[in-house]
Amino acid sequence: MQAPHLDHLDRSPGRRRSAVLALLLAVLTLLFLALGASVGSTGWESVLRMRDDATSWQIVMDIRLPRSMGAWLAGALLGLAGAVAQGLFRNPLADPYLLGSASGASLGSALGLVLMGSSITSLSLVYRLGMTGMAFAGAACAVGLTVVLARNVQNTLRLLLAGVIVGVVLGAVRDLLELRHPDILQAMQAFTLGTSAFVGWESCALMAAVLLLCGLVTWVCSRVLDGLSLGEATATSLGLPLTQLRYGLVAVLALATGTSVAQTGLIAFVGLAAPHLVRSLVRVGHGRSTLLAAAMGGVLLLAADILARWLVAPQELPVGVLTAALGGSYLLWRMHRSTGIGGRK
């Protein structure tokens, strides 16, 4: 059944502004990708020598470009997941890790390090695929356990509480595993701080495929998010198949978050800040806003990754630490300006 009461969300003046924002984000993406290809220990020299120097070509095409593209894709997945989480839970403070996926991915990575060795810098394809698979499996199992404990996805508060409990328990299990195997502590630190240094073209292809799939499912389910924004009773009265599409949205949340975390580790605040930025600039339905949040998340993480490589070059900062500092500062500023939270009444 069509939901005519929601049509104004897509015909509002914000639709034109959303097109402008999409164009701006596309331009920023291309600029940052070009900038990311030039940031490194050898700077612009590798870019200038690409035609004549095989080593420079390899540095740019096999290291810098896939890393930059991977950072954008991971950020886009987190931005999309954050927008879905905030719409599904009707809470602007919801983030992609609410259903326990972060703790599950961390536990999966810790188990992978114990089983396959503690060198996260290994270049073996089998090793990288195994670690990625373990992290993703951990995230997927955590979300599945959350849904089972919540009994269904209809009660969002129960689902949220179950996710918090699962996250705490799995985090404790990971800590016990690290105490039992202290040799994995250094590798786990790189995972929990977040990095795009190990992303290659294969990882980019995987994240791009997942982003396309999750984007399509979210677009199909966007009417549910629009309906939920008006209240549970209103969404039900509009004839929307809430239960089935909620399961689809939870699956998107798990798949997008698990894929991103498996490739880049735990990246803080991108999934929380990207939807906030989009809502502060345009007001459109969830069909467009979630896709804009994905593009915004990609730009934010790519910009943070470039800063992480440039600020203390030739060394680099963990990108997850940088996003936490910048994202936290932005949200504190938003809270300070808000008239409803800590601001002037």
Q: pLDDT of 212-229, one tens digit each?
A: 999 999 998 887 777 776
pLDDT < 50 regions, the chain = 1-5, 7-9, 123, 340-345
Q: Is residue 86 part of a domain?
A: yes
Q: Show the domain range for 280.
A: 4-337
- Judge contact between 253 and 87, C-beta under 8 A: no
d(CA 280, CA 145): 34
Q: Is residue 345 part of a domain?
A: no
Measure CA 103 to chain center: 15
> Positive or negative CA dihedral for 70, 137, 94, 4?
positive
The pTM assigned to this predicted structure is 0.85
Q: Is residue 344 part of a domain?
A: no
d(CA 204, CA 47): 21
Q: Is residue 165 part of a domain?
A: yes
pLDDT at 230 (0 to 100): 65
Q: Is residue 100 part of a domain?
A: yes
> Positive or negative CA dihedral for 279, 317, 72, 258?
negative
Query: Domain containing 225 — which CATH number?
Result: 1.10.3470.10
pLDDT at 284 (0 to 100): 83
Q: Is residue 322 part of a domain?
A: yes
Q: Is residue 343 part of a domain?
A: no
pLDDT digits (tens, 9 = 90+) for 34-72: 998 887 666 666 665 666 677 777 777 888 899 999 999
Q: Is residue 342 part of a domain?
A: no
Please tell me the total count of domains within the chain.
Answer: 1
Our separate counts of H helices and E strands in the chain read 14, 0
pLDDT at 2 (0 to 100): 42
